[in-house]
Structure 1
Amino acid sequence: MRTADSSQPPARNHREPAAAPASEAAPEAVPSSAPGRPRSATAVLVLACAAQFMVILDVTIVNVALPAMRAELRLDAAGQQWIVNAYTLGFAGLLLLGGRTADLVGTRRAFLAGVVGFTLASLAGGLATGGGPLVAARAVQGAGAAFLAPATLALIMRTFTEPAPRARAMGAWSVVTAAGGAVGAVVGGALTEYAGWRWVLFVNVPIGAALLTAALLYVPAAGGGRGGARRLDLPGALTVTAGLTALVHGTIGSETHGWGSPHVWGPAGAGALLLAGFVVIESRVAQPLVPLAILRHRGLAVANPLVMAMSGAGFSMWFLLSLHLQQNLGLGAVEAGLCFVPGSLAIIVGARTATRLVARTGSRPLVVAGMALSTAGFVWLSRIGGAGGGYADEVAGPFVLASLGFGLSLMPAMVAATSGTDPAEAGLAAGLVNTSRQVGGALGLAVLATVASHTTAARLARRPHELQQALTAGYGRALLTAAAFTACAALGAFALPGGRGRTP
């Protein structure tokens, strides 16, 4: 099938066998946007990239706005964490279900559902008058993202069917994914300072409306379903989402109650039981969300915990530095957002370097080297406040070093996870790694924020009039703990398969 473009007539829809598996289904054609007028594959690519940009943007856009949210809504430290974690948990817990939904009910329906849910949740979050409604809106945002993100990738894969156009389209999609995190901090800072923190959520409303209109014009109205013989594993999806949420809730509770409190081990224990129940469900249902046999692949089994450790450190770094820059160094929201640009560029440089090298070196040396760089960056970064310095002399250098390590490591870890699997399972393997990335970010943030809080409280107990020094000490201890995460990831990377890159 040729890639659709503006010079071709409308592509003809192909009827697929009812029980065809997702991996064997024919790609969707790009239909005409109106009778007699062909649709442009370029428009489809722009639509998919814009939607992915919005999804990734909201992972980081709220970080710089957190102090303003806390002040107006009177949030405690745990409430700040939940504004971030509610999104990542909703995203992670339903990501596999979102990908399977796009396979079974069609890309168009999954895309539209994701856009509508994400946009309405953004509106509700911007209108929230308390921490509870805001956290709930962020969770629904994450759920919308879980359906939208897989649909954007599926839309590209089914529109661009020839190798060269598909490679160019995937390159554009990857660049937008990397840029979304970088732009989020800057845009979040500007909106917070000049329009108010609510606009970091309201900004998604006009974007979502534009995406919805474009999707109705350009996303195929037919095709993409995978037959009625397959079913969604709703019990598995609900169990894993509830289990992850309970586990993170218990971990966050340790910040105020201590690890031995029922407020901690009660939810954490319930989360562990729910996750065990998820494993039982997946082993017994006919069409599981995660076939357990896929976890026998060495690359996937090793890469998942590595990615969790990487993300736990990386997500926490952005969160902690955002607070440090504004609370301790006294920077405004815009200045704090601009301070993240060098790290974002370092991630892009690392990712591009890894892309060039992975086919020659394999994944293992790149992940080891990247995590070693990040570990050195975190150890250096943990010394913040030691000499009373500012951003340029205490934060910028180690922040760039740690970010470069993340950029160098993440893509090779993804390659290692998917290269050892059957081609028909590559999408599921990538979904599992992306889920681990979001879950690791949520759990890592909960643990490291607890470390920071306990260190700050202990310092204040000895010196009650040194609040700023106590906060800085807490952030430094948490960043040193993040170095332990990345050091473990560097050591664990030696267990990755050593073969040179068969990049899927």
Structure 2
Amino acid sequence: MTAPPLASSSSALATRQGKLVLALLCAVGFLDFLDASIVNVALPSIARDLHFSVQNLQWVLSGYVVTYGGFLMLGGRFADLLGRRRTLVAGTVLFGLASLTGGLAPNAGTLVGARLVQGLGAALMSPAALSILTTTFSYGTDRVRALGAWGAMAGVSSAAGVFLGGVLAAGPGWRWVLFVNLPVIVVILAATFRLLEGDTTRTFRITEFDFSGAVLGTGGMLLLIFALVRAPSTGWGAGQTAGELAGAAVLLVLFAVNETRVARPLVPLSIFRVPGLGAADATQVIGIAGFYSAFFFVTLYMQDVLGFSAFRSGSAYVPVTVMVAVAAGAGSVLITRIGTRPLIVSGALIASGGVFWLSQLPAHGSYWTNLFPGLMIMGFGLGGVFVGVQTAANAGVPPSLAGLAGALVTASTQVGAALGLAIFSAVATAHTSSLLAAGASTPVALTGGFHRALLLASIFILCSAVIALRAANTRGEPSSAEITGVAVTAAAEDAPDRVRAPRPSPEQA
């Protein structure tokens, strides 16, 4: 059974144990999000060493995104039904084995296969860790601070991944972009067994598992992200792209119908009745489409136009990483005063202005004059958006669905990343080709394409501010659904992991 969360007067984060648990869970989130971007700067080195074709090189990056996003719903439900610590450990071991295999890869196929398996491991790790976080730190400022730290990790990792990838690729070599995961995984596994209690025995029959829902939902998500990843190369108007998107839509519709007809659905559709959850996830999709693409195109601008090395490109993101962390910390404090909605909206407006600044980059620009101001403004807004969305997307969710809620917001991140790159890469490439045909130099043509892509990215982030107006406005207090869910699941079949934390003293109680 689930132990009821500590009352608001007994703070789990006030204990050393609570702080260690939060650090462990944030390390899991950081590792998962980091590996979506850490290979970016190392791609040229990987292509030379393993003889990748231009067409296949994208799968070093995209393979991870496809399986990560595609299997998240399944991973989140596994965490709820089979045990959160068990799912976290399984995903971490799988992630570590894939990292080792990828680092030792002798050829292109092995590396792509390893990245696909890495994504599967992350799809198990991330929702399990987030659901443990939301069920452990459930009340008062504990919840806001814990979700704020998780949101900060999601934002910081986007910038830190580019930095670490550049440093490692320029130093010990691209293989260490994957090997660097191994010591972190060892620490995570050791801490998991020490800090989290094992999963208690629960009533679960394999015959009751929603296999049809698992096949339809996972297949639909995999095909959707696969289609978005391939769209820039195959063309948005190509019959193949249209067929893949239509197939994904059919599978997801059949999945929704299936979930209304089975006794124990993989994704109980009642979760979408949680006020503001759908709007928070939609905000994440559209916002991430802009944020992720901005980092991608700015990195290309630094390397292909300004001629920055991998190390210098990575180092350029250090101030941004610090700014995201500072903004996330400030956002965690502001949530308890103004709520999540004003934080998300204001953060998105600020970040949109920063990306718009970047959309004006000249062909012969400089880092401090042209890049630094826009990156810092974007980073400041990004920290607030990530903290606010993570808190709003988990507000009002009963503990029995915490893993699924975590999976949905993380899946929104992966879909947004794939969607943004698919749309904006096509726009940038088309405009660059047009300028080259008109006689423009390569730096001018590339910069012109980046202008269009970054302008659209700023518009997407601006639109996410509008969508966020429909998201929940929570200050971190538990909702009636969560309170009821704790009581019901404590007496029923749900049994998420518990922290080995000391009981509150009589004075605290």
Pairing 1:501–2:475 present: yes
Report the counterpart of residue 205 of structure 1 in structure 2.
182
**Cα displacement (A) at 1:162:** 9.4
Distance 1:376-1:367 versus aligned 2 partners, 3 A rule: same
**Correspondence 1:442 to 2:418:** yes
Whether the 8 Å CA contact 2:152–2:387 is kept in 1: the answer is no
- Corresponding residue SS for 2:419: helix
Which stretch of structure 1 is more off in the superposition, 307-316 or 291-300?
291-300
Which amino acid in 2 is paired with 1:138?
R
Tell me whether 1:84 sits opposite 2:61 in the alignment: yes
Written as runs of structure 1 = structure 2, the 5 A alignment for 1:7-156 is 16=1, 25-26=2-3, 47-75=24-52, 79-154=56-131
Q: Is the 8 A contact 1:98 1:150 kept in 2?
A: yes
Q: 2:172 aligns with which of 175, 195, 219?
A: 195
1:118 deviates by 0.4
CA contact (8 A) 2:344 2:388 kept: yes
CA deviations over 1:453-482 (Å, ceiling 9, x no partner): 22222222222x722322222222111111
Equivalence for 2:427: 451
- Give the drift of 1:113: 1.2
Q: Tell me, in whole angstroms, the C-alpha distance in 1 between the residues paired with 2:233 and 2:403.
A: 40
| CA distance in 1: counterparts of 2:227 and 2:134, whole angstroms | 39
Is 2:438 aligned against 1:467? no
Change in 2 beyond 3 A, CA 1:407/1:43: closer
Q: Which residue of 1 aligns with 2:293?
A: 316
Q: CA 1:426–1:121 in structure 2 vs 1: closer, same or farther (change >3 Å)?
A: closer
The equivalent residue for 2:342 is: 365
The answer on whether the counterparts of 1:122 and 1:202 sit within 8 Å (CA) in structure 2 is yes
Which whole-Å CA distance do the structure 1 matches of 2:387 and 2:264 have between them? 29
Give the TM-score normalised by structure 2: 0.81
Say which SS state the counterpart of residue 419 (structure 1) adopts: coil
Instruction: Evaluate the alpha carbon distance shift between residue 490 and residue 172 of structure 1 in structure 2; reply closer, same or farther with a 3 A threshold.
Output: closer
**Whole-Å Cα distance in 2 between the matches of residues 496 and 168 of structure 1?**
19
- In structure 2, runs of 5+ residues without a counterpart are 6-15, 479-509
Partners of 1:277 and 1:408 in 2: CA distance: 36
Q: Work out whether 1:255 is the aligned partner of 2:216.
A: no
1:368–1:105 distance in 2 versus 1, CA, 3 Å: closer
Gap change, CA 1:495 and 1:116, over 3 Å in 2: closer
Using the alignment, how far apart are the partners of 1:295 and 1:264 within structure 2?
29
Q: Secondary structure at the match of 2:204?
A: coil
RMSD: 3.2
Deviations 1:191-222 (A, max 9, x none): 100111121012223433454455556654x4
Unaligned runs of 5+ in 1: 1-15, 17-24, 29-38
Deviation (angstroms), 1:255:
2.4
Residue aligning to 2:463: 488
Q: Distance in 1 between matches of 2:98 and 2:214?
A: 20
CA–CA separation in structure 2 for the residues paired with 1:475 and 1:74: 27
Give the counterpart letter for 2:305 in structure 1.
Answer: N
Aligned to 1:352: 329
Q: Which range moves more in the overlay, 364-373 or 229-238?
A: 229-238
Question: How far 1:260 moved relative to its partner?
Answer: 2.1
For residues 199 and 224 of structure 1, do their structure 2 counterparts lie closer, same or farther at Cα, with a shift above 3 Å needed? same
Give distance in 2, aligned partners of 1:290 and 1:310.
24
Secondary structure of the 1:285 match is coil
- Residue by residue over 1:410-465, the C-alpha shift from the partner in whole angstroms, topping out at 9 and shown as x without a partner, is 322333333355565455334322221221112212221222222222222222x7
- Structure 1 residues 219 and 363 mapped into 2: Cα distance closer, same or farther (>3 Å)? closer
Say if 2:452 is the partner of 1:477.
Answer: yes
Change (3 A) 1:429 1:106: closer
Determine if contact 1:448/1:478 at 8 Å carries over to the other structure: yes
Kindly tell me: are residues 234 and 286 of structure 1, through their superposed partners in 2, closer, same or farther at Cα, counting changes over 3 Å? same
Q: Is the Cα contact below 8 Å between 1:452 and 1:475 reproduced in 2?
A: yes
Whether contact under 8 Å (2:152, 2:328) holds in the other structure is no
Aligned equivalents of 2:168, 2:251: Cα separation in 1 = 39
Tell me the residue number matched to 2:494. none
Q: Partners in 2 of 1:167 and 1:367 — Cα distance?
A: 14
The more displaced of 442-451 and 99-108 is: 99-108
* Amino acid paired to 2:465: A
Q: How far apart, in 2, do the equivalents of 1:358 and 1:371 lie?
A: 15
Query: Does the 8 Å CA contact 2:159/2:321 hold for their aligned counterparts?
Result: yes
Does 71-80 or 333-342 show the bigger shift? 71-80
CA distance in 1 between counterparts of 2:204 and 2:24 reads 28
List aligned pairs for 1:416-435, cutoff 5 A: 416-421=392-397, 425=401, 427-435=403-411
Per-residue deviation, 1:81: 4.0
2:288, 2:416 within 8 Å by CA — same for their partners in 1?
yes
The structure-2 alpha-carbon separation of the partners of 1:134 and 1:238, relative to structure 1 and needing over 3 Å to count, comes to: farther
Once residues 17 and 405 of structure 2 are traced to their aligned partners in structure 1, the CA distance between those partners, rounded to angstroms, is 31
How big is each residue's C-alpha offset from its partner over 1:282-323, in whole Å with a ceiling of 9 and x where there is no partner?
A: 222222222222223441122221110011111112222222
Preserved CA contact (<8 Å) 2:88 2:129 = yes
Moved more, 270-279 or 91-100: 91-100
In structure 2, relative to structure 1, the CA distance for the partners of 1:202 and 1:480 (3 Å cut) is: same
Counterpart-to-counterpart distance in 1, 2:392 and 2:133: 23
Map of 1:6 onto structure 2: none
- Between the aligned residues of both structures, percent identity stands at 39
8 Å CA contact 2:50–2:106 kept in 1: the answer is yes
Output the amino acid matched with 2:377. L
Partner of 1:3: none
Distance (whole Å) between structure 2 residues aligned to residue 456 and residue 462 of structure 1: 10
1:268 counterpart = 2:245: yes
- 2:495 counterpart residue number: none
